Amino acid sequence: MHDMTAATIGEAVRARDPREETRSFDAARCRAAAKQIRQYTLQMSLVAGPHGAHAGGAMSMVEILSVLYLEVLRYDVKNPTWELRDRFILSKGHGAPSLYAALCLAGFLEEKELLTFKANETRLYGHPSIDLSMGVEFSSGSLGQGLSLGVGTALALRLRNNDTSRVFALLGDGECNEGSVWEAAMSASHFGLTNLVAIIDRNGMQYDGFTAPVMNTGDLAAKWQSFGWTVREVDGHDVTAVHDALTTPIAGQAGPLAIVAHTIRGKGVSFMENARVWHHSRLTQAMYDQAMAEQEASTDESGGSKGP
Amino acid sequence: MIAYTRASTRSWSMLGSSGSFGLAAMELPELSSNVAILTADLSFFSGLDRFRAKYPERLINVGIAEQNMLGVAAGMAKEGHKVFATTYATFASARTCDQVRVNMGYMQFDIKLVGLAAGLSVGILGPTHMSIEDIAVMRAIPNITVVSPADCTATVKATLAAAAHKGPMYLRLSGVQNNPTVYSADFDFIIGKAIKLREGDDIAIIATGTMVYAALEAAKLLAERQITCSVVDMHTIKPLDEAAVKETLGARLLVTIEEHSVHGGLGGAVAECLALTPRKPPHLVLGMTDTFHHPADYHFLLEKNGLTPKQLAASIATAYDEVKAA
Amino acid sequence: MTNLEKYTKAFVDSFDIPPSALAGLVYQAIPSWDSVGHMGLMAVLEEAFGITLEIDDVIDFSSFERGQELLKKYGVEF
């Protein structure tokens, strides 16, 4: 378990029958995948060079992605438009680097393609671009729009009597400044969309700094609840807690589910954690070396702590 | 007081247009006691950190909420504040379009809407961050002045001019760090009055924003082929300096160049201006192609759109040959 | 003026600090050496030494000492 490589994780994921109804949760493998995603994200940030990368926001959502792509989402890499697949929407599109890393582990992308991140005319640019063959359901980058796409998708699935597929939208907490998020939230609850899950990566930061002094979102859990959502709050870096929140049935569920995941922006890299500039900044070779050394030394299986 | 020396214009060029705007903004509270600058979680990107440090009560951050920003700007403008609202050009024209239309166009609140990173400058982030059509959108809404400064010196001048101007305005800032300099010293920047930068009889070039420098370079390349070009900096696209446009009627070919779609921007404005004129030269509209390009760095994208000086000179020369042959 | 004097003067004038504060000074250590101040310093140095700095060097110019190393590329000896 401790020597899980990207290859073995990927194999295990791809060997899984996407049609199986129940799976046993493998927390250690999720944590190993999270660590791999962190390292891929650092590699991509390095190759981006002077263009810089949104590394901070990519790092805070790593455990969420590892749980989703290893344990929760139904998908079939050999049949990416499989009707019964779950749909994942990265509304906070700038988190693209760690999404690409997760898609690599899932088998949608080759490891070597990750190194084309931000190259001219690459498929893997700073925001995800709609490409079902790659596992990307929608383009994003203009914040506040992903949840509406989720509402529409969820409605369409229901109209087609697809009771199997679920829709997952991952938002940022700064992104919740956008009014369009709340239009979508109101409508999701109004339409009783039990097949829609919003995950809010609550890392407490946005471009100009911490959310509280910039535009205080206050008690986000209470806000989602008041909009008619079932709300679960978790430590967003605890794969077991995230998994439980995503999979535990809701008694008498009549509407959508919101998971407020408390996270640290830049998690896993000491100089990125809670640092304002790491919404988007340039990762130099020296910084990369330091970050990777921290990952190697980390006693946290997810690569989440700052090391000994 | 801002000094327009070689060193200062050079430092602004290295900073880029957002940083130059932030520098000019430092002068605004001296000129007007009720200035307020609004940002939608981009104060550091907009070069406003010095402004915020010195005038914290005058910088209002609404978070990632551009539509709210416009409404807030309108409420403050109505109460007599001199308001600058700032965000990416894409969001300024697309995300907030309805609020712009209602508050700036219809109710004519005195808001200066600053569109940062216009055109292709953050094209590396993809189509959601490439502003292809913002001039077309703003131009079509009544009552909004549309200004696109040629370089960072002009950005500073335009910001100060905007503060002195009464009425809603869209200020489109383009280019990246190390933005080439057109104006290395102080000059008269008058909203609505184009600036002729080069004389020439064969071809008349009207350009705006970053394409003014590109046009000047293209003109030099064409001069090597004994083709003379005049170059006009049309920094104010609306109201268009129609007299300056009509001065080009003697040329054999008229060219407009913009880091904006070929549809509805400067090219469209000039074509509309000359529509009823019976005798006029053929008009070559050069700008961004009508497509969403794959993301790439700024210079790659300029080349992809045929907007480097070399490519512009080639396109113009080809059109000129066709005109002469016809 | 020697090159070092010109170099020191550029910092002193750009950031309004005494020469004694310069040894070991790094970018963003003082409020006036922010991105705006940095470009101002670059322009002053270009004029003082009659050079044009490459953008990569502008970005790499992270301290009083690093700047001296970088300027050697442009034939400025200290």
Domain match, B163 and B207 both: no
Residue B85 domain-assigned?
Answer: yes
- List CB contacts (< 8 A) between B89 and chain A: none
Residue B46 domain-assigned?
Answer: yes
The DSSP letter of residue B195 is: E
The two three-digit tokens of residue B6, written as one number: 């070689």
The DSSP letter of residue A125 is: -
Examine the fold and report which residue of B141, B174, B207 is the final residue of a domain before the chain moves on.
Answer: B174
Domain match, B132 and B207 both: no
Could you say which of C31, C35, C44 has the minimum Cβ distance to residue B15? Answer: C35
Rounded to an integer, what distance in angstroms lies between the CA atom of residue B67 and that of residue A307? 43
Which pTM value belongs to this model?
A: 0.92
Q: Which residue of C has its CA nearest to B21?
A: C36
Q: Is any Cβ of chain A less than 8 angstroms from the Cβ of B294?
A: yes
Domain match, B170 and B73 both: yes
- Residue B14, pLDDT > 60, answer yes
pLDDT in tens, B257-303: 999 999 999 999 999 999 999 999 999 999 999 999 999 999 999 99
- Total domain count for chain B? 2
pLDDT in tens, B24-55: 999 999 988 899 999 999 998 888 999 999 99
Q: What is the b/e burial string over A176-199, where b = at least 16 CB atoms within 10 angstroms of the residue's CB? A: bbbebbbebbebbbeeebbbbbbb
Residue B203 domain-assigned?
Answer: yes
In chain C the domains, ranked by start, together with CATH numbers, are 3-72 (1.10.1200)
Domain match, B112 and B205 both: no
- List CB contacts (< 8 A) between B14 and chain C: 39, 42-43, 55, 58
Residue B254 domain-assigned?
Answer: yes
Domain encompassing residue B229: 195-325
Domain match, B21 and B142 both: yes
Q: Give catalytic residue positions of B.
A: 66
Range 4-63 of C in CB contact (< 8 A) with B: 31, 34-36, 39-40, 42-44, 46-47, 55, 58
Specify whether the CB–CB gap between B154 and B189 falls below 8 A: yes
Domain match, B35 and B75 both: yes
ipTM comes to: 0.90
Rounded to an integer, what distance in angstroms lies between the CA atom of residue B60 and that of residue B63? 9
Domain match, B259 and B214 both: yes
Domain match, B211 and B293 both: yes
Specify whether the CB–CB gap between B64 and A177 falls below 8 A: yes
> Reduced to 3 states, what is the DSSP secondary structure of residue A141?
coil
Domain match, B165 and B53 both: yes
In chain A the domains, ranked by start, together with CATH numbers, are 6-17+28-297 (3.40.50.970)
Number of alpha helices (DSSP H) and beta strands (DSSP E) in chain C: 4, 0
Taking 50 as the pLDDT cut, the residues of chain C under it are none
How confident is the model at residue A8, as a pLDDT? Answer: 76
pLDDT above 90 coverage of chain B, percent: 96
Specify whether the CB–CB gap between A224 and A147 falls below 8 A: no
Rounded to an integer, what distance in angstroms lies between the CA atom of residue A57 and that of residue A145? 17
Q: What is the 3-state secondary structure (H, E, C) of A63-83?
A: HHHHHHHHHHCCCCCCCCCCC
pLDDT above 70 coverage of chain B, percent: 100
pLDDT tens for each residue of chain A, 308 residues long:
345 677 777 777 766 665 565 668 999 999 999 999 999 999 999 999 999 999 999 999 999 999 999 999 999 999 999 999 999 999 999 999 999 999 999 999 999 999 999 999 999 999 999 999 999 999 999 999 999 999 999 999 999 899 999 999 999 999 999 999 999 999 999 999 999 999 999 999 999 999 999 999 999 999 999 999 999 999 999 999 999 999 999 999 999 999 999 999 999 999 999 999 999 999 999 999 999 999 989 888 888 754 33
Contact B15 C36 (CB under 8 A): yes
Domain match, B119 and B64 both: yes
Residue B182 domain-assigned?
Answer: no
What spatial distance separates the first Cα and last Cα of chain C, rounded to whole Å?
12
Q: What CATH number does the domain containing B81 carry?
A: 3.40.50.970
Domain match, B150 and B224 both: no
Q: What CATH number does the domain containing B284 carry?
A: 3.40.50.920
Q: What is the mean pLDDT of residues B9-34?
A: 94
Domain match, B41 and B166 both: yes
H or E element in which residue A287 lies: helix A285-297
Q: Which residue of C has its CA nearest to B54?
A: C31
CA dihedral A285, A286, A289, A290 (to 10 degrees): -150
β-bridge partners, A167:
A87, A196
